[in-house]
Amino acid sequence: MAEIRIRNTNERIQGEENVRAFLEGQEVLYEHWNPEQLPVELRNKFILSDEEKGQILATFDNEIRDLASRRGYLTWDIIALSDATPNLDELLKKFEQVHTHTEDEVRAITAGKGIFIIKGTDEVGYFDVELEAGDVISVPEHKPHFFTLMENRQIVAVRLFIETEGWIAHSYDDPSFQKAQA
């Protein structure tokens, strides 16, 4: 289940209802899918064939189509990252820059872990959303954020798009943002 850490105060927010309420206040959508629908052999697999990716999308087809019909997404795919990904460190360096998009950024984690760092309201400042299998998040358009892996460096997620072009990152220079933990 997702957990929040507010960077300025180190406060942690846990429990589905608390997390959902906090994120709602920050205009971040949070939902949850049952990750146990996924066949056991795919729950801990981070190098995926096209067939296995198709199997994951088929497993969550109802959830994907429900989310897509409510929010207007037209295409979706699977992203898998792990130490087996070529140039993972370089890729993560590129990921770890605060940026915005003209489209929202939706991720439904199906295996592994990941973390969104998001710029909240002025009172809250930056906060981390730690995500695991079953967590579904949408960071709204124009909201500064970045996404990266956690210590285990493994994730599989469904991405949903309105238009893939709407998802191009625009960097957001924020001198007040400190990557290092307080």
Q: Is 142 annotated as a binding residue?
A: no
- Closest distance between Fe ion and the C-beta of residue 104, in Å? 9
Distance CA 162, CA 47 (A): 26
Residues that bind Fe ion (CB under 5 A): 105
* Choice between 59 and 103, CB closer to Fe ion: 103
Burial of 154 (0-12, 13-18, 19+ CB in 10 A): buried
Give the distance, in angstroms, between the CA of residue 42 and the centroid of all CA atoms in the same chain. Answer: 19
- Closest distance between Fe ion and the C-beta of residue 137, in Å? 11
* Choice between 38 and 136, CB closer to Fe ion: 136
- Closest distance between Fe ion and the C-beta of residue 107, in Å? 9
Q: Is 170 annotated as a binding residue?
A: no
Give which of 95, 94, 118, 114 is closest to 177, Cα–Cα: 118
* Choice between 46 and 147, CB closer to Fe ion: 147
Any alpha helices (H) in 8-49, and if so which ranges?
16-25
- 3-class SS of residue 28: coil
- Which residues fall in the annotated binding site for Ni(2+)? 99, 101, 105, 145
